[in-house]
Amino acid sequence: MRDFKIYVSIASILLIIYLVAQYNKPSAINWQPTLAKNDKIPFGTFILHNQLTTLYPEAAIVNTNKSVYNAFHNDSLQKGNYIIIAKNITLNKFDFKEMLKYIKAGNSVFMSAFEFKGFFADSLQIESRAENSTKNVSLNFVNDRLKAGKNYVFNRDINNQYFSSLDTAKVTILGKNYADHCTLISYKFGKGTLYLCSTPAVFTNYSLLTKQGADYAEKALSYMPQAGYVYWDQFQNGDLPEDLSPLRVFFANPALQWAYYISLFSILVYVIYEMKRRQRVIPVIEPLQNSTLEFVNVVGQVYYEKRDNANIAHKKVIYMLEHLRDQYRLKTNRLDPEFIEVLTKKTGLEVAFITDLVHALIFISAQHHVTDIELIRLNKLIEKFYSQTGYNGK
């Protein structure tokens, strides 16, 4: 019996030593190319994202998890640079249209991915593929001021991708690999520029920890000018904020998820059962009478007897301007020709009618005394506007 206890003790000690060793064993390196800004693994972009303040010292770095359409739509972005580094980039017709508006206004967009898809790739006629080579592929710039004395060479085939197809009549080639295939190109749209790079892995931690990797990334991003804002896109790469809900543990585990659903169902059944047993008789309450018409008549009679046309007219102007702000998202602090033009485009009404309406609003706002004729004319213009725009006052 004593010998058995000794064996158990020795086995327990060995088990504890094994568990401690397993607990303190270094984690295996994750070589997955996530390209996520918070990942410190080899193929994350933690270093690049944190060095953006060094590359663009005067810029505010803004992370956005909106889709491309929502990010660029309705002038929601400030003037600056927009960076997308993802495993693949897929843009449809509407995404590309909104992005072009931003670029044409004098901004820059830098996109790097292993593969470009969708309407965007079809419009620019670009395709990408990997070099069929047994040795490490080298890169360099075309511009003599940026071109290194020796080509940039990277391990683990991180720069094998190149543009196998592109429209040479519209593109400007900025970088090539050893096989004279394009890896960094640009397109000029209006006052701005779109930059495309086929080797996103050269912007990862694994590359930037080397001197030549940091030099290449810095020169590639230096094509974009200094700006007040630099936007880092998280949506295209799926690098979205982690769910911080307290229920995330339940939904991450199927067993806990079903336990959660069963608990909710049981509580619901209990509540319904208790309501059926204990619910008291609900007394019948007579509905309130609708006295809206009487109220309107009383208010109208008060205004008629007081004959304060200016007060009524000014309130109509206030309500009308509030309607224009809410319905058409217009600023009403300046009712100038530009305001008339924008309102005409948004409503589709005749410019002459809109001009008469706006001039009437301006005239009434400046008056301390309003005649019956002026009040009636203003009311007819406003009612006509509501009628022609389909507004029913609800």
pLDDT score of 210: 92
3-state secondary structure 94-118: HHHHHHHHHHHCCCEEEEEEEEEEH
Distances (CA, A) of 212 to 31, 134, 154, 172, 286: 20, 21, 9, 24, 83
Mean predicted lDDT score pLDDT of the chain = 85
d(CA 4, CA 76): 75
Mean pLDDT across 279-287: 74
- Asked if the model's pLDDT at residue 22 lies above 70, the reply is no
pTM for the full predicted model: 0.58
d(CA 341, CA 258): 58
Size of the chain in residues: 394
**Neighbour count for residue 361 (Cβ, 10 Å):** 22
pLDDT score of 315: 85
Q: Kindly give, in sequence order, each residue whose CB lies less than 8 Å from that of residue 57, ignoring residues fewer than 6 positions away.
A: 226
Taking the domain 46-233, which CATH number applies?
A: 3.40.50
Mean pLDDT across 161-182: 93
User: Which carries the bigger pLDDT value, residue 274 or residue 325?
Assistant: 325
Using one digit for the tens of pLDDT, what is the confidence trace for 48-75?
A: 999 999 999 999 999 998 899 999 987 7
Domain boundaries defined on the chain = 46-233, 294-389
- Asked if the model's pLDDT at residue 243 lies above 70, the reply is no
